[in-house]
């Protein structure tokens, strides 16, 4: 057992508690990673607030970067000392979904016992397959991708979730074609990366829709051609004036039900909507099906950008090194693990793109 410091959720909606925990050695097919950075995602916050249920005590955190510090039996293509990005995407590699290139919806990812526990032996949940609000993690080898040494740890960490989810939702799930028009609802961390994905894929116009002028200006710095406030009576009408027609692709990157209710209004004939943001469990949206049917419009859900991590993350890392993908600019603040509750509070204000815990 290795003794580590971690931020533990002991009660939903309450501050995380710093504890010393025990971390077991990696088993067959697993690796131990000593972390350098972990970003705070809104999904971590929603889980810690009890929005999606789950068992406690738990360690959240799933956008991580670090170096492999131990390997279990059967791990042959990963070596100690390698810098890796740690994702929550655990995949068996052999089920029908994995075999058809859809590891984000693996049918049999496995439910192994958590490798972390309190010093008295009480099990602690390794939430979202990672438990990365901690100094070290033990994860399945399928969850990591080696990345270049010249990339800052913060940039590597961001590629674990927000970047691949945003870019992948446009390129993989949305199947954007060059010259199409895109509307991105929400200009937070995932939304900014959806905007980057649309720019990289060659969109004609990229319209960001958000609640504040400040976020719309940030969106333009990441590639949006236009910005529209969502606070008006009918922002979709303003978007249609900008585009001259409805959008080919609408990406909903926030988990707000009003955003989902209004998203189809931005669509043009044959348009499609990609559902990315995750509302609380039980929340319901409403649509008028006859409109979607008559206009040949479609909806699709996208989990983690439908990525294949060993295909897509190296591609995105190369774009970053070429200066074509902004990652450093996504970091709003750097914090220590001792400051995690302050970093979460700052993230909740809505102004931060990504706060990162540095080790």
Can you state the angle between helices 189-201 and 213-221, rounded to 10 degrees? 40
Mean pLDDT (whole number) for 64-93 = 96
Query: Does domain 2-159+327-358 correspond to CATH entry 3.40.50.11540?
Result: no
Q: Write the pLDDT tens digit of every residue in 6-64.
A: 999 999 999 999 999 999 999 999 999 999 999 999 889 999 998 888 899 999 999 99
- 359/352 Cα distance (integer angstroms): 20
Question: Domain residues of the chain, as ranges?
Answer: 2-159+327-358, 163-303
Q: What is the pLDDT of residues 238-254, one digit of tens each?
A: 999 999 999 999 999 99
pLDDT > 80? residue 77: yes
- Predicted confidence band at 263 (pLDDT cuts at 50, 70, 90)? very high
Q: Indicate the pLDDT class of residue 280, thresholds 50, 70 and 90.
A: confident
Read off the pLDDT of residues 325-357 as tens digits, 9 standing for 90 and up. Answer: 999 999 999 999 999 999 999 998 877 788 999
Confidence of residue 216 (pLDDT cuts 50, 70, 90): very high
Could you tell me which residue, 1 or 154, shows the higher pLDDT? 154
pLDDT at 85: 97
Q: How far apart are CA 169 and CA 261, in angstroms?
A: 19
pLDDT category at 144 given cuts 50, 70, 90 is very high
Contacts of 48 (CB under 8 A, 6+ apart): 9, 12, 13, 16, 60, 344
Tell me which of 349 and 102 has the higher pLDDT: 102
User: Is residue 136 predicted with pLDDT exceeding 90?
Assistant: yes
Query: Quick check: 1 pLDDT over 90?
Result: no
pLDDT at 257: 95
Residue 351: predicted pLDDT: 75
Q: What would the mean pLDDT of 163-187 be, rounded to a whole number?
A: 97
Res. 223: pLDDT tops 90 = yes
| Domain 163-303: CATH superfamily, name plus number | NAD(P)-binding Rossmann-like Domain (3.40.50.720)
Q: For all residues of the chain together, what is the average pLDDT? A: 95
pLDDT score at 281: 86
Cβ atoms of 188 and 196 within 8 Å: the answer is no
Whether 300 and 273 have beta carbons less than 8 Å apart is answered as yes
Residues whose CB falls within 8 Å of the CB of residue 39, separated by 6 or more in sequence, listed in order? 63, 64, 154, 157, 158, 160, 161, 162, 354, 355, 356, 357
Average pLDDT rounded to a whole number, residues 322-327: 96
pLDDT value for 203: 98
Write a three-state SS string for the chain. CEEEEEEEECCCCCCCEEEEEEECCCCCCEEEEEEEEEECCHHHHHHHCCCCCCCCCEECCCEEEEEEEEECCCCCCCCCCCEEEECCCCCCCCCHHHHCCCHHHCCCCCCCCCCEEECCCCEEEEHHHCCCCECEEEEEHHHEEECCCCCCHHHHHHCCCHHHHHHHHHHHHCCCCCCCCEEEECCCHHHHHHHHHHHHHCCCCEEEEECCHHHHHHHHHCCCCEEEECCCCCHHHHHHHHHCCCEEEEEECCCCHHHHHHHHHHEEEEEEEEECCCCCCCCCCCCCHHHHHHCCCEEEECCHHHCCHHHHHHHHHHHHHHCCCCCHHHEEEEECHHHHHHHHHHHHCCCCCEEEEEC
N-terminal to C-terminal alpha carbon distance within the chain: 20
pLDDT at 164: 96
pLDDT tens-place string over residues 301-311: 999 999 999 99
What confidence tier does 120 reach under pLDDT thresholds 50, 70, 90? very high
Identify the pLDDT of residue 232.
Answer: 84
Mean pLDDT, range 161-187, rounded to an integer: 96
Average pLDDT over residues 203-223: 96
Position 51 scores a pLDDT of 86
pLDDT of residue 298: 95
């Amino acid at each position: 057992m290795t003794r580590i410091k971690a931020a533990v959720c002991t009660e939903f909606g309450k501050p995380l508690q710093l504890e010393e925990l025990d971390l077991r050695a990696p088993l067959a097919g697993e690796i131990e990673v000593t972390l350098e950075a972990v970003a705070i995602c809104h999904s971590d916050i929603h889980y810690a607030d009890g929005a999606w249920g789950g068992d406690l005590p738990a360690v959240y955190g799933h956008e991580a970067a670090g170096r492999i510090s131990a390997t279990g039996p059967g791990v042959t293509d990963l070596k100690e000392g390698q810098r890796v990005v740690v994702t929550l995407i655990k995949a068996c590699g052999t089920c029908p979904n994995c075999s058809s290139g859809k590891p984000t919806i693996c049918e049999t990812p496995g439910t192994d016992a958590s490798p972390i526990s309190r010093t008295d032996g009480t099990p602690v949940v390794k939430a979202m397959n990672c438990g990365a609000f901690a100094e070290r993690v033990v994860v399945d080898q399928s969850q990591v991708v080696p990345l270049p040494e010249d990339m800052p740890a913060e940039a590597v960490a961001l590629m674990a979730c927000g970047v691949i989810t945003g870019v992948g939702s446009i390129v993989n799930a949305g199947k954007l074609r060059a010259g199409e028009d895109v509307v991105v609802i929400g200009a937070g961390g995932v939304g900014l990366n959806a905007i980057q994905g649309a720019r990289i894929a060659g969109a004609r116009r990229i319209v960001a829709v958000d609640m504040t002028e400040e976020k719309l200006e940030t969106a333009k710095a990441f590639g949006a051609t236009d910005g529209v406030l969502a606070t008006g009576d009918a922002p979709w009408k303003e978007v249609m004036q900008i585009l001259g027609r409805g959008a080919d692709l609408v990406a909903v990157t926030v988990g707000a039900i009003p955003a989902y209710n209004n998203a189809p209004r931005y669509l043009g004939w044959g348009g499609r909507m990609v559902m990315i943001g995750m509302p609380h469990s039980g929340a319901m949206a409403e649509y008028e099906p006859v409109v979607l049917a008559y206009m040949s419009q479609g909806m699709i859900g996208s989990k983690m950008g439908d990525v294949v991590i060993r295909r897509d993350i190296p591609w995105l890392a190369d774009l970053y090194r070429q200066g074509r993908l902004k990652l450093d600019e996504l970091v709003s603040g750097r914090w220590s693990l001792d400051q995690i509750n302050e970093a979460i509070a700052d993230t909740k204000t809505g102004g931060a793109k990504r706060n990162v815990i540095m080790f």
